Amino acid sequence: MLEVNSLKVKYGRAEALKGVSLTVGQGKVVAVLGSNGAGKSTLLKAISGLVPVSKESSIRLNGEEISGLPPDKIVAKGISYVPEGRKIFPGLTVRENLRIGAYLRQDKKGIEEDMERCYELFPRLKERSNQRAGTLSGGEQQMLAISRALMSKPKLLLLDEPSMGLAPVLVERIYEKIAQIREQGVTMLLVEQNANLALTISDYVYVIANGEIKLQGAAKDFLRERDLVKAYLGS
Ligand code: ATP
């Protein structure tokens, strides 16, 4: 579904991605593991059209080149991004935040149905639908950020460290929900510092360090290579 080739991103003179290539197959969950500053967020931002990429970079969705397109066009093609730190709109209600996730859609009935589907997945959000999003707990805000991304009906969901800043019990809950979303047939590219977590849910894994892919393989093989992964992640 997604093919990234020779992806390069520079911030001024600093090369954050130095020619990254990866693929995500339809219906799969692919994890990109790496330590702080490895380039994980930059990768997701580049795919989402939020940072400029070099000329030789290629990002294809179902065979169609999407690099260089503006972010709204990329959302319209079916890629939705859940940023690190959630970035919900704190002054708007839960419901309004979800509605914003569907801003490119016109099908009112479909939007209502998808909102109900989000509420089924996260009943807590339904209870709080008229509450301002800024009053939600960290875990609830992560649920809202994921739901908002689902409201655009994505083919591919990009998740940036969904476990970040959450207590272990909440992290577990979020990952259970991610597994349920996966069962609904949504393809996912997930970046994580927490390798153990990511490995429980992924089919395939890439390890990134210093803007380059250093290791890749099936998640089940990685479970046996813990020490090697630890060496790259520094944990
Ligand atoms: P983290 O989990 O800490 O966000 P990461 O793996 O997602 O780490 P990136 O945020 O992609 O890493 O950062 C990759 C490199 O690019 C780092 O060296 C970082 O300092 C640098 N960088 C990121 N954003 C910018 C920016 N806006 N301007 C300049 N340098 C940046």
**pLDDT bucket at 184, cuts 50 / 70 / 90:** confident
**pLDDT bucket at 29, cuts 50 / 70 / 90:** very high
Closest-CA residue, ligand 1 atom 3, reads 36
Closest-CA residue, ligand 1 atom 28, reads 11
Closest-CA residue, ligand 1 atom 20, reads 37
Q: Does domain 2-92+156-233 have CATH number 3.40.50.300?
A: yes
Q: Where are the domains of the chain?
A: 2-92+156-233
Query: pLDDT at position 235, please?
Result: 53
Residue that is written with structure tokens 């970079």 in the block: 57
CA 27 / ligand 1 centre spacing (Å): 28
Query: pLDDT at position 179, please?
Result: 92
Tell whether the model's pLDDT for residue 9 goes beyond 80. yes
Closest-CA residue, ligand 1 atom 14, reads 39
Query: pLDDT at position 89, please?
Result: 93
Query: pLDDT at position 234, please?
Result: 67
Q: What is the pTM of this model?
A: 0.91
Query: pLDDT at position 141, please?
Result: 92
Task: Give the chain's mean pLDDT.
Answer: 91
Query: pLDDT at position 218, please?
Result: 92
Q: Which atom of ligand 1 is nearest to the CA of 211?
A: 14
Average pLDDT estimate for 167-180: 89
Q: Which residues line ligand 1 (CB under 6 A)?
A: 11, 14, 16, 34, 36-42, 84
pLDDT tens, 203-218?
999 999 999 999 999 9
ipTM: 0.92
169-188 burial code (b ≥16 CB/10 A, e <16): ebbebbbebbeebbeeebbb
CA 129 / ligand 1 centre spacing (Å): 34
Of 18, 20, 42, best ligand 1 pocket probe by most atoms within 8 Å of the beta carbon: 42
Identify whether the C-beta of residue 31 lies closer than 8 Å to the C-beta of residue 22. no
Q: Which atom of ligand 1 is nearest to the CA of 42?
A: 11
**Widest CA span in the chain:** 50
Beta pairing class for 14-24 and 187-192: unpaired
Query: pLDDT at position 42, please?
Result: 97
